[in-house]
Amino acid sequence: MRGMSKWVLAIAVCGFPFLKPMAQDCPARPATGTMVADPYSISSKGGALTAQFTLGHSVDSAGYTHFCYKYQAPGQVVEAPTLRVNPGDVINLNVIDGLTPDNSMKMDMGAPSSPPCGDGGAATINSTNVHFHGMNVPPVCHQDDVINTLIQPGSAGFQYNVHVPTTEPPGLYWYHPHVHGFTEFQVNGGAAGALIVNGMEKVRPEVAGLTERVFVIRQQYLVPWIPGPYELTLNYQTSFLAQFPVIDMKPGEKQFWRVANATLQDFLQLQVQVNGTAVPLEMIALDGYPLAQTRNQTTILVPPAGRAEFIVQAPSSGSAIFVTNAYSTGPTGNADIAATLATIQTTNTTASSHMPESTPPTADGVKFRNFAMQPATTQRKLYFSEEFGGTNGPIQFYITVDGQKQKVFEPNEQPVITTKVGAIEDWTVENRALETHAFHIHQIHFRVLEIDGKPAANTDLRDTIEIPYWEGKGPYHSVKLRMDFSDPTTAGTFLFHCHILLHEDLGMMHKILVTP
């Protein structure tokens, strides 16, 4: 629910500082109705990817707030480049918080109680950090810790050294800020980019030789936390009236599309339509994990933070459109409106862009491949619920381990789940709210075992999954997910939450501790 409570909170506590003119330090966005370019890409070399990002901020001429990751490429500053790594590489990413401290913004979420990682201090709208979404990497300082890591304006920056496992599944991941209470602000319209683990063609040879396209779909509200109209953008390009971003393909050409849902809260129902009819899309991977078998779908539901990788075939002539259909998130949810994301034009002059060569697959194979065959050591039930005191709040968003007291996340809280390395757990996650939620857990992928108590048709490995809203009668919708904590690198404290970012910021999130 994009309720007004956060707006009220922001207004009450902060006034309107986010409406003031601010520094215009993000790169210019592409013009509406132009050809969609893939994000600038940085590839690892010699086992390491080295880069420096500076977080910036702009308000565009239409009033949309943008946060951005700026990267100095040769001859130009680009925004949120795609990071390409091989399994076993190290991502050496230095992140500088280039935001201008704004003392009028008094709102802060306090400081974590654990030893700080990075600059420490209180988490504010000007603080940042980076979450490597979907990556099966350790939840520790300088890798993928978001609980204790804070980067503050004015500091020299913070160095990430993320060790990509040799068994990391090839596929599309993404990165974004994850400071509790302010994630939505910074992801709104900008600070998010794609991260690709190379090697998909080794696991799914269908994509070998195809032109690869990387599409990041973002969402921007005029002012985050204020209910109102929003825009979806495709690689930062907006649509306006009948002008849409343009994707170029050769007639009849097959391309490998890697699409990240980097929206704040939009459940995308993706289709490619030719003459108004959805055409089959050959599914290759979800959430950065190759499917056991490719399958054809005409509609791909991608929850917020999810990714879909699929093969698209252009029509033999004429044009097509890339759309997201309307999606109901329930009585208390937001209407996800239908939108044309791009027009697809066919031309024989289209340039090809093949995937970079990747390292050979390792002997270790791909992580999580066989764990569903192992029996679960623990069963848990969790549930989403909401509590509305009024139309404008107070609103509480909960994710609760069944049997525990419902509470919203606090940075200083103790983990609500403790398990140990080696555990294989089955989590049944129910949705008891009248709004669809998107369950996400850091550090691992899970296998979908059941949906609404019945064996799942597709036991895919995911890191984010939608759970539809309760209709007011009958059983709650649910998913049963198998969690694999057998890898020692999962040891530590990390998060699970709803990936509707407003919900996450308002506390629909908790910690899990995996002991060594």
Partner 1 sequence: MKKFLESRYLRLIILVSGIFATSHLALAQTQYVLSNDDLAFPFLTGVGFFTIGANGLPVFQEQVHTGTFGIGGGYFGMNRLAVLDSGTQQCVFASEALNAFIVGVDVSTLTVGGITSGSDTDAGTTNGIGMVMNGNYLYASFSDSNTIGTFAVQPGCSLTFIGDTSVIGFHGGVINGMALHGAMLITSYTDGSIESFTISGGTPISNGDEQLSTATVTSQDATYANAIDITKDGHYAIFGDTSTALSVEVSDISSGKLTKTTIYKSTASISSSNILLSPDETILYVVNTQGATVSALFFDKNSGKLSAGCTSGPLAGLSQNWSYLAGAVLMSQSGNGGGVYVAEFGTVSGIATVPLSFSGQKCSLREAKGSPTADPNTPGLLSIGSFPPRSF
Which residues would be at the binding site for partner 1 (CB under 8 A)? Answer: 4, 8, 328, 330-332, 385-394, 396, 398, 400, 403-407, 432-434, 471-473
Antiparallel, parallel or unpaired: β 454-455 and 446-451: antiparallel
Residue 389: burial class (beta carbons within 10 Å; 0-12, 13-18, 19+): exposed
State in angstroms the smallest separation of the CB of 371 from partner 1: 32
CB atoms within 10 A of CB 14: 15
C-beta of 5 vs 188, nearer to partner 1: 5
C-beta of 208 vs 337, nearer to partner 1: 337
CA-to-CA distance for 242 and 452, rounded, in angstroms? 40
Residues 6+ apart with CB under 8 A from 208: 201
State in angstroms the smallest separation of the CB of 452 from partner 1: 18
C-beta of 271 vs 431, nearer to partner 1: 431
In the sheet that holds 48-59, the strands lie side by side as: 76-79, 65-73, 48-59, 90-97, 158-163
C-beta of 3 vs 118, nearer to partner 1: 3
State in angstroms the smallest separation of the CB of 113 from partner 1: 21
Dihedral, 345, 347, 350, 353 alpha carbons, nearest 10: 60
C-beta of 41 vs 332, nearer to partner 1: 332
CA-to-CA distance for 218 and 266, rounded, in angstroms? 9
C-beta of 35 vs 335, nearer to partner 1: 335
State in angstroms the smallest separation of the CB of 11 from partner 1: 9
State in angstroms the smallest separation of the CB of 2 from partner 1: 12
C-beta of 14 vs 278, nearer to partner 1: 14
C-beta of 484 vs 505, nearer to partner 1: 505
State in angstroms the smallest separation of the CB of 223 from partner 1: 17
Interior/surface letters 57-87, b for 16+ CB within 10 angstroms, e for the rest:
bbbeeeebbbbbbbbeeeeebbbbbbbbbbb
Helix (H) or strand (E) holding 13: helix 5-14
Residue with tokens 């002991």: 515
State in angstroms the smallest separation of the CB of 324 from partner 1: 20
Residues 6+ apart with CB under 8 A from 428: 379, 380, 381, 382, 450, 478, 479, 480, 481
State in angstroms the smallest separation of the CB of 407 from partner 1: 6
CA-to-CA distance for 216 and 189, rounded, in angstroms? 11
CA-to-CA distance for 154 and 205, rounded, in angstroms? 47
State in angstroms the smallest separation of the CB of 270 from partner 1: 23
C-beta of 25 vs 413, nearer to partner 1: 413
C-beta of 332 vs 345, nearer to partner 1: 332
State in angstroms the smallest separation of the CB of 390 from partner 1: 4
**Token representation of residue 227:** 């209910």
Antiparallel, parallel or unpaired: β 446-451 and 158-163: unpaired
